[in-house]
Structure 1
């Protein structure tokens, strides 16, 4: 049986009412909202975040909360430098694409053209490395890979040798799976073509031309001293991560460091057409459409916030998390850089970034304010709701908390917020329960990430009340 804590309040209390915001919120109002949000997401005396929100040419908010070094009581500032983890992939992809624009690489080229000794390289294309469809074994998922060996300094060849003989997850082009190995190979191809370390070429082709002076290889002597300390939480206390991941192994999949200002400038350069040719840029941001994961282009994912398209990437590694968003319709950039890998729901960079983006376009997410419902009232909602031909979503009360369980998944606690409406804890996802004219529950309308018109799931059965999880 899984025990769920009782939920009292998760209300996001803003310094102002957001219900009347226009599409262009006043800077002072937005600043008050952002300060309130950061104040509830991060403690002043622990790891925190630097944040920047820019809409067009207007800076809506630039600030920070928390500490860059908890032990020395050094505060974070908006100028602080963080490891950005997998946001690095966006730079690596763009760097390789500049070589494509110069005719030095073709996306349809086989990997074997650049790494002749790579097993099966004749069947793997450069494009498949960029969009995670190569099937190559992700080296960070190999058993034992994230233990002591990750602290070793490795050359590119040594890192490639580590994973190249492992059985692929699928044949090239036959599926999609997020893959750090693929981006190590992106870096290796850059090196084979330019005869420079991958990060040196990124600096020459992208960082220097666009004035990104505070971005670079996090192991470099000019960058490393500026990077804030990274933490993980153990028993509620921030401590240094137990795993020391050598940045040579993060490679082109995650070894850059940056600041909120540089990442906003990067967004402006990339998405305004100053980095790549138009056709190349369009390929970078256009998903290949392979199954439900077909929302990923080359180093950039697609999503939505309050009905607006979002081009995005996140990052997570030992001690750090990051989120970079761009909303093309409103030319809005949101950057959240966090110096912990275990921030909790309200401090998760994805949560903070989405709330800020929604508020920036005048459509803030509603406040999540729970209402008290006893076990008897919650049991009315117990039932099975048909999602599709292969899966259901079951509602059941466990230890006084209503939970939702998708077929094959763990039960998740829900927050009642009003008449027949429930949010998932720490999420924007919610559902409403629909009734017939007699008041009987007949269906669930599910809003993933709080977006869209909702997917309807009819009620088909009621679970046995004696079943325990």
Structure 2
């Protein structure tokens, strides 16, 4: 009886899956134009979007501004920083060398970087699928941001796990992969990619990037960040730091040409392409092959990669069954990051283009008191759960440990959609009408996960202490622990911390003038001494305690 409503609701919520015929090009173009416009602020940084079926262009457009300061409009021809989408090109570069017999994925890293610590246990393939265990901490000393300086600092940072024994996304692993390319070819990693791919494929505007900012000599679109509640130009960045993990720039058209060539077999052998798109071993935990994340979208296989860096966000997807390319680029790293970097807009457009659109999510009104009946801890297993609570009149969901609260939009009785995402929750009631469980539909796919509501009380909410901006200024600055850094900023009166070359800063919640919790991570930062310019920042995360020391200017 208690599942009756769920059985009635699920077919209604999934009704969009039934449509199979791909819509006409004009229909895709109009849908894409409207969807892009809904997520664009005309007076802010913009979006550039491309949808193509095979060699047929379905939609190509842009909205917003290329430079907020000057008011110059963004166009689909602009050159964007593509951040971690770079990894796809780096992985393909390594695999091309494999095809040419110049290296093997099973080669130990010691063959190319003999001085790297414990390199004999790391294989080249492990670098490409994030199973090498090298720590994702690749901020280098300012005096040497060249490849060797990067390699040395990564080696000094330690490891997260023994090679091959785990999976953790690692920019550092791709810096090492770039170093391998350089050692094998005798060329800079991006120069090799130009020779191997960009020039032969006519990708004339794809290249290694230089500094982010205004008047950049490469002609790239201006990057933007939020500072003091307003858009400003992204800070200058030495683009040798992201290296082969994230330093390329490109355009919509070049990314389309790349998808067509890579997945049509023009770039790599069938064996190497198959390996690139096949997660194996521990990498299967992240559904990650070699430079390609593998998943499903409305029942169809999808190859994708996202990217985010100071001043830019990117997303590139390819659906092989439909020969469909979707690319979304932005000249901001804080423009609704879930819309670009997390793939919301790209997935929305792809689903419509293959004739399996996501169902309508028109919100209905539910008063805050009625929302409280859904509050509780929904336990997945002993270690993880979803906490639902009403915050400022809206029901929110937070994965614990470490998740960020996400607003839920009511779309039917006992049914909610995650804001700027496709996942949904449909709640079950017992015979007395009490909420006892949820059916969680990840990405709105047809196989829901049933999660029971536990008897646990709601976890207490950390109480924020108000600290004057003048008092917060004492903690602003850069702190160093071994080869790792954290940068604390108080640009708009809100303290934030950015670790290493992390794409997005994390907001700090004051517990006292010296103690702060991290908003989206179960961790704290304590600054010492009290009442003076902070000289140390002590990071406590689980059992780990790391002491960062202020870097004097």
Provide the TM-score with structure 1 as the length reference: 0.88
User: Equivalent residues in 2 for 1:246-257 (5 A)?
Assistant: 246-257=238-249
Deviations along 1:341-371, one digit per CA (max 9) or x if unpaired, are 0012674342111111111111222333222
Aligned counterpart, 1:75: 73
Specify the SS of the correspondent of 1:139: coil
Is residue 184 of structure 1 aligned with residue 184 of structure 2?
no
Structure 1 residues 21 and 454: alpha-carbon distance in aligned structure 2, compared to 1, 3 A threshold: closer
Q: Secondary structure at the match of 1:427?
A: coil
Alignment of 1:259-338 (within 5 A): 259-290=251-282, 293-338=285-330
Distance 1:197-1:19 versus aligned 2 partners, 3 A rule: closer
Structure 2's unaligned 5+ residue stretches are 1-15, 463-553
Match among 371, 376, 395 for residue 388 of structure 2: 395
- What is the Cα-based RMSD across aligned positions, in Å? 2.3
Q: 1:33 to 1:409 in 2, by over 3 A?
A: same
Distance 1:62 1:359 in 2: 15
Within the alignment, does 1:63 sit opposite 2:61 as a pair? Answer: yes
- What CA distance in whole angstroms lies between the structure 1 residues aligned with 2:350 and 2:217? 30
Higher RCO, 1 vs 2 (CA within 8 Å, ≥6 residues apart):
1
In 1, the alpha carbon distance for the partners of 2:410 and 2:274 equals 42
Q: Is the 8 A contact 2:234 2:311 kept in 1?
A: yes
For the residue of structure 1 that corresponds to 2:218, the secondary structure is helix
SS at 1:164 equivalent: helix
1:199 equivalent in structure 2 = 190
Once residues 322 and 367 of structure 1 are traced to their aligned partners in structure 2, the CA distance between those partners, rounded to angstroms, is 26
Q: Structure 2 residue aligned with 1:339, among 331, 338, 348? A: 331
Distance 1:96 1:163 in 2: 20
Equivalent residue number for residue 397 of structure 2: 404
Residue equivalent to 2:416: 422
Q: Is the 8 A contact 2:164 2:282 kept in 1?
A: no
Pick from 425, 436, 440: which aligns with 1:446? 440
Unmatched tracts of structure 1, length 5 or more:
1-17
- Work out the CA distance in 2 between the residues paired with 1:325 and 1:467: 40
SS state at 1:247 partner: coil
The match for 1:120 is 118
User: Is the 8 Å Cα contact of residues 313 and 337 (structure 2) preserved in structure 1?
Assistant: no
> What CA distance in whole angstroms lies between the structure 1 residues aligned with 2:380 and 2:412?
23
**Match 1:36 to one of 34, 37, 42:** 34
Question: In 1, are the aligned partners of 2:131 and 2:283 still within 8 Å (CA)?
Answer: no
Deviation at 1:72, TM superposition (A): 2.3
Where does residue 238 of structure 1 map in the other structure? 231
Other-structure match for 2:358:
365
Q: Does the alignment pair 1:458 with 2:449?
A: no
Separation in 2, partners of 1:43, 1:394: 32
Aligned residue pairs total: 441
Q: Conserved in 2, the CA contact under 8 Å of 1:153 and 1:246?
A: no
Q: Distance in 1 between matches of 2:364 and 2:227?
A: 31
